[in-house]
Each structure stands twice: as structure tokens, then as C-alpha cells.
Amino acid sequence: MAQAAHRPPVRGPTFIRLLARLTEAELAPSGPSLPDRLGQWLDWKHALALAAALDARPAEAAGDAGAPDDLHAECARAREVLAAAINDAPLLAPATPAEPDYAAFRQLCLNRQRATQAAVGRLRGKLRDALAASPGMNQLAEVDAAMEVAITPREHTLLAKVPELLGQRFERLRTAGDASTTWLDSFRRDMRSVLLAELDLRFQPVDALLAALRTS
């Protein structure tokens, strides 16, 4: 008896594993190391800016830029609001009337991505200001600022593929589905999971800066 093909497990963040499962992609078991990957992403201007931030001497605290507890609460609230906008989206509610095509889902995905990107950018700025006001932490704030400028365009390009990948999932399920909406409810669950996982992924720099601020 022929055995079913075995796909090796995909390692990495939940977001990557979800996309690999939904798109049925065969990912390479290993790739370039982090330094090599960054070397491919950073041009010489970004590399110089990052080197300057890493070589900078710690400066004196610039003043009070916000209490850590207040910033932690603000970040938590922002994350809750963004997650609620995904979980409570009427389009993703089960047993709602079927959509004739993927267009409405695509627009929802784009709207959630833009809202998350804007919130994360604003919060990172506030957290960097708070770090700059903490003794010995201004260098971390400068490094994060340099990394945001360098990495954000690449991040935007990669995450812009998510609506397309979800669209492919939509079409596969619709083609394989029957006259009921079972396949559509399955897609809604998949899309909700992907958007929530992307939210967690985008918030990683915020979580890291919060952790640094708490220990400063």
C-alpha cells in the first residue's frame, strides 16, 4: 500500500506555520542565518545608520517621557482593540450570508494590516522616547529606530502577499466545497487565525521595547 507523502513540520512563528499549512507550501528546512539575511535586506545607508547607533555612547537621560506602567497599559489596550476588530468583524462571523467573491475579504485584510502597522509605528515611537529618557537605554532606542527604517519596507513587501495567499485559499476551498457554506466558515476561521497571528508578529518589537523599559 502506498504511503501518504510526509511533509516535514515547518518551524518558526505561528504566523509562518499557519501560512505554510493554508497554502500547502513546501518550505526549505533551513535558510540563511540571521546575519546573512540582514545583509541581504540592508543597503549601505541602512547599514551605516545601524552601525552608528550601535557605536553610539550612552547619553544621559533626556527627561520623563512617560511612566512604564502607563505605556504598558496603552500598548495592551491598543492590542486588544486591534484583536477585537478581527474577532468581531461581521464578515468573519460564522453562518453569515455567503460572499460572491473574495473582494470583501481582501479589503478587510488590507484594512486590518494598515491599522496594525499604524498602531505599531506609533507605539514604537512612544516607547523609544521613554527609553531615551531612561539612563543607559538611549542606545537601544536609536538601534530600534534604525532597524525600523531599514526593515519596515521589506516587512511591508512580504506581508503584502498575505491577502493574495488568503485569496488562493478562498478559491481552493470554494472549488472543493459543496453548496453549503461549510467551506466558507472554514475559510473565515483560517483568515481570523492568520490575521491574529500577523498581529502578534507585528507586535514583537513593541513587546521587546516594553520588556527593555521594564528592566531599565
pLDDT of residue 206: 95
| Residue 76 grid cell | 495592551
pLDDT tens digits in sequence order for the chain, 216 residues long: 344 444 555 555 788 888 888 877 555 555 555 556 656 666 646 555 555 555 556 555 555 555 677 899 999 999 999 999 999 999 999 877 777 789 999 999 999 999 999 999 999 999 999 998 887 788 888 888 888 888 888 888 989 999 999 999 999 998 887 666 788 999 999 999 999 999 999 999 999 999 998 886
Q: How far is Cα 182 from Cα 184, in angstroms, rounded to an integer? A: 5
Beta carbons of 131 and 209 less than 8 angstroms apart: yes
| Residue 60 grid cell | 544621559
Predicted structure pTM score: 0.79
Beta carbons of 215 and 137 less than 8 angstroms apart: no
Beta carbons of 98 and 173 less than 8 angstroms apart: no
pLDDT of residue 138: 84
Q: How far is Cα 174 from Cα 44, in angstroms, rounded to an integer? A: 46
| 117 Cβ contact list (under 8 Å, min separation 6) | 156, 202
